[in-house]
Amino acid sequence: MTVEPSRMLRADAEQNRARILEVARETFAELGLDVSMAEIARRTGVGTATLYRRFPTKEALVTDVFADRISACVATIDDAVADPDPWRGFCGFLEKICALQASDKGFTEAFVAAFPGALDYADKRERVEPEFTELTARAKAAGKLRADFAFGDLAMLFMANCGIIAANTAHAEAASRRFVAYMIQSFRAENAEPLPPATPFELPNFWDSSSPG
């Protein structure tokens, strides 16, 4: 059996790309987002020209590295919506995305880093939002989730958990687990007290005004 050369080239390119993403993720985790493209090329064992052919800018590379991780977060919403108990699905979703954040400090540190700028998560949000909205509507209808829980509270929880993980203390993962348990209690409909107004769903913006090297 023979494989046509163009298909082999495509397979090589695919492996190359996957390897760059893997090395870039490890490197960002170790050194933070301001590592140079040259360093990532060196660690991957490819020339910088090859790296720039796959990822024309560092923003493009970072976006792809993160997109992968964010997709893993997104996948957990499917499990949550499939749960016949909407409150259990809701709580499980929050626990899982927060544990996923906690397990990858590189991603989390990058996420909260003091970098100016913007990565494009709009497509992910368009997928998550209707599913999460359905999940919360069912949990509210079941009388378990407080009626004033807002979509923006999910971003609030996500950012708060980032802060705990980014602190990078010896017990950050345990603190994150306890934190999520506290938040879930505050989201319960029972004995809910009035809150300050909800805020829109917002994730941090990277590279707003400048672009790292």
| Interacting residues toward a second copy by CB under 8 A | 32, 109, 112-114, 152-153, 155-156, 159-164, 166-171, 174-175, 177-179, 181-183, 185-188, 190-193, 195-200, 202-205
Q: Please report how close the Cβ of residue 114 comes to a second copy at its closest, in angstroms.
A: 5
Contacts 24+ apart (CB under 8 A), 84-88: 86/135, 86/138, 86/139, 86/141, 86/142, 86/144, 86/145, 87/139, 87/142, 87/144, 87/145
Closest to a second copy by CB, 88 vs 182, is 182
Is the CA virtual torsion 40, 114, 104, 172 positive or negative?
positive
Closest to a second copy by CB, 13 vs 195, is 195
Q: Please report how close the Cβ of residue 19 comes to a second copy at its closest, in angstroms.
A: 25
Instruction: Residue 72: name the closest of 124, 148, 149 by CA.
Output: 124
Which residues are CB-contacts of 190 (< 8 A; sequence separation ≥ 6)? none
Closest to a second copy by CB, 46 vs 156, is 156
Closest to a second copy by CB, 141 vs 195, is 195
Q: Please report how close the Cβ of residue 111 comes to a second copy at its closest, in angstroms.
A: 8
The letter for the amino acid at 180 is V
Q: Please report how close the Cβ of residue 81 comes to a second copy at its closest, in angstroms.
A: 24
